[in-house]
Amino acid sequence: MLTAISVKNAKPGRHSDGGGLYLMVRPTGSRSWILRAQLNRKRQDFGLGSASVVTLAEARAKAAELRSKLKRGEEIRPTPPALKVVIPTFSEAARACHEAIRAGWRNEHHRASWLASLENHIFPHIGANRVDEVTNVMVRDALAPIWLAIPETARRILQRVRTVLEYSHLEGWCPHEASLRSVPKGLPRQPAVENHFVAMPYTEVPDLMWRLGNLPTSAGREALLFTIYNAVRSGETRHATWLEFDLDAAIWSIPASRMKMRQPHVVPLSHAAIAVLRRRWPLRASDDGLVFSTHGKRPISDMTMTKVLRDLGFPRTTVHGFRSSFTDWAAERTRYPKEIVDKALAHKLADRVEAAYRRTNFLERRRALMLSWAGFITPLSVGNDTVNIGVLATG
């Protein structure tokens, strides 16, 4: 059942009040009342007026009166074609779809990129077409220029086009459910997908850290060092704020809202990681702003850290891959159990029963693990030689 407030705030689409009464909200923002009922054994739409003039109560009264007339068999003409639902263009339907489903996405970047990918690659080809006139051939031709150039993005866009068409069917704009299964068959076969992040062998990480230490200080360099020391995801570093850190206790508390698994994560900080933070502290814009940012409000991009690697001559190594380097080191050079390493990486336990009973976060054992990792990858200069302080760690 609708309310006066829900009518006022309704997003583009069709909203049921029950009994065949619908509020129709166009992508343009215009609102009207429609009664959907049977006339001569066929479903017909009867316009009840604009929602800017007819209130919810008045629309219900009109709908009840009209249903009574139909039940008595009185002759009633359906809504003239000019008052029937206007079919939006694909671009209008996509924006309406995006507005309807975006609230379910926590990731702001995904909210923006979802629509931007359609604006950049699909709207120039079929954006002006009525959404009910979009065919598989049109979609194939729109995807053809990017199908091999950016295959992963192209596949995501295909799924987003399918979502728009399915949404349009639910809204009554398209008579049939979307079926784009044949689209990839009309395009070249894409190369095999490599899902693994390219990781640096753990034995090479100390040399990288030495080279990073010789670079001029920058937000990108410091963020990369901090990410490697803590074996965290790049986004967890980029969005870290000063309020999350307790340097006296050597603790970094990441809220659930910023974690992939939506669980809060506590990171024990090594001396090397704290040293990075102490270098950043005098450069802060505020005591509660972002740590790795020029002005404390806008985080550095993911590519900022990647560029540091590229400038050092590592064209394929990924920032995320250092989590794999850490995992391999822990397996081959320490005696820490896998569950402690997994906890350090904030991995989700596959076994739900085990996850329910394992409440400890192994904080002190993880602190020793991260100290050992920092010791292994942090070189110390002795005279003209560089030695490593890492030793075989025990759990």
CATH number at residue 158: 1.10.150.130
pLDDT at 349 over 90: no
Residue 31: pLDDT band with limits 50, 70, 90: confident
- Within this chain, do residues 292 and 211 fall inside the same structural domain, yes or no? yes
Among 46, 63, 83, identify where a domain stops. 83
- Residue 70 maps to a domain: yes
Range name among 244-253, 307-316, 371-380 with the lowest pLDDT average: 371-380
| The pLDDT of residue 370 | 93
**CATH number of the CATH domain containing 358:** 1.10.443.10
User: 42 has which bridge partners?
Assistant: 39
CA angle 9, 15, 19 (to 5 degrees): 135
The stretches of 250-362 forming alpha helices (DSSP H) are 271-280, 302-311, 321-333, 338-344, 352-357
- Within this chain, do residues 176 and 236 fall inside the same structural domain, yes or no? no
pLDDT at 277 over 90: yes
Among 83, 111, 136, identify where a domain stops. 83
8 Å CB contact between 358 and 349? yes
- Within this chain, do residues 182 and 50 fall inside the same structural domain, yes or no? no
Range name among 22-36, 253-267, 299-313, 353-367 with the lowest pLDDT average: 353-367
Higher pLDDT, 348 or 144: 144
pLDDT at 211 over 50: yes
- Within this chain, do residues 120 and 37 fall inside the same structural domain, yes or no? no
pLDDT at 352 over 70: no
The string of DSSP codes covering 54-110 is S-HHHHHHHHHHHHHHHHHT---PPPPGGGSPPPPBHHHHHHHHHHHHGGG---HHH
| The pLDDT of residue 27 | 66
**Does pTM top 0.85 for this prediction?**
no
| The pLDDT of residue 355 | 42
Cβ burial, residue 284 (10 Å; 0-12/13-18/19+): middle
- Within this chain, do residues 102 and 218 fall inside the same structural domain, yes or no? no
64-114: pLDDT as tens digits:
988 888 888 776 665 554 445 578 999 999 999 998 888 777 666 677 789
| The pLDDT of residue 278 | 94
Please, which contacts does 355-364 make with residues 24 or more away whose CB atoms are closer than 8 Å? 361/266, 363/266, 363/268, 364/268
C-alpha to C-alpha distance for 166 and 13, rounded to whole angstroms: 13
- Residue 77 maps to a domain: yes
8 Å CB contact between 305 and 291? no
Please, which contacts does 356-363 make with residues 24 or more away whose CB atoms are closer than 8 Å? 361/266, 363/266, 363/268
Residue 348: pLDDT band with limits 50, 70, 90: low
- Residue 274 maps to a domain: yes
| The pLDDT of residue 192 | 65
pLDDT at 385 over 60: no
- Residue 246 maps to a domain: yes
- Within this chain, do residues 10 and 44 fall inside the same structural domain, yes or no? yes
The residue-averaged pLDDT of 141-146 equals 93
Residue 134: pLDDT band with limits 50, 70, 90: very high
- Within this chain, do residues 219 and 334 fall inside the same structural domain, yes or no? yes
Question: What percent of the chain clears pLDDT 70, i.e. is strictly above it?
Answer: 85
- Residue 393 maps to a domain: no
- Within this chain, do residues 354 and 295 fall inside the same structural domain, yes or no? yes
pLDDT at 310 over 90: yes
Structural domain containing residue 367: 202-388
CA dist 120 to 11, 101, 124, 349, Å? Answer: 24, 20, 7, 39
Sign for the pseudo-dihedral over CA of 9, 12, 15, 20: positive
pLDDT at 263 over 90: no
- Within this chain, do residues 373 and 289 fall inside the same structural domain, yes or no? yes
* Structural domain total, the chain: 3
| The pLDDT of residue 392 | 42
- Residue 394 maps to a domain: no
- Within this chain, do residues 380 and 276 fall inside the same structural domain, yes or no? yes
- Residue 116 maps to a domain: yes
C-alpha to C-alpha distance for 383 and 124, rounded to whole angstroms: 63
Residue 389: pLDDT band with limits 50, 70, 90: very low
- Residue 193 maps to a domain: no
- Within this chain, do residues 358 and 293 fall inside the same structural domain, yes or no? yes
| The pLDDT of residue 147 | 92
Among 83, 116, 150, identify where a domain stops. 83
| The pLDDT of residue 44 | 76
Residue 174: pLDDT band with limits 50, 70, 90: confident
| The pLDDT of residue 80 | 52
| The pLDDT of residue 67 | 86
Residue 372: pLDDT band with limits 50, 70, 90: very high
Residue 309: pLDDT band with limits 50, 70, 90: very high
The residue-averaged pLDDT of 155-163 equals 92
* Mean pLDDT score across all residues of the chain: 83
pLDDT at 193 over 60: no
Higher pLDDT, 272 or 103: 272
pLDDT at 159 over 60: yes
**CATH number of the CATH domain containing 56:** 3.30.160.390
| The pLDDT of residue 153 | 87
The residue-averaged pLDDT of 320-341 equals 90
- Within this chain, do residues 212 and 284 fall inside the same structural domain, yes or no? yes
Higher pLDDT, 240 or 263: 240
Element (H, E) at 127: none
C-alpha to C-alpha distance for 360 and 138, rounded to whole angstroms: 55
pLDDT at 381 over 70: no
Please give the structure tokens belonging to residue 135.
């065919």
| The pLDDT of residue 125 | 95
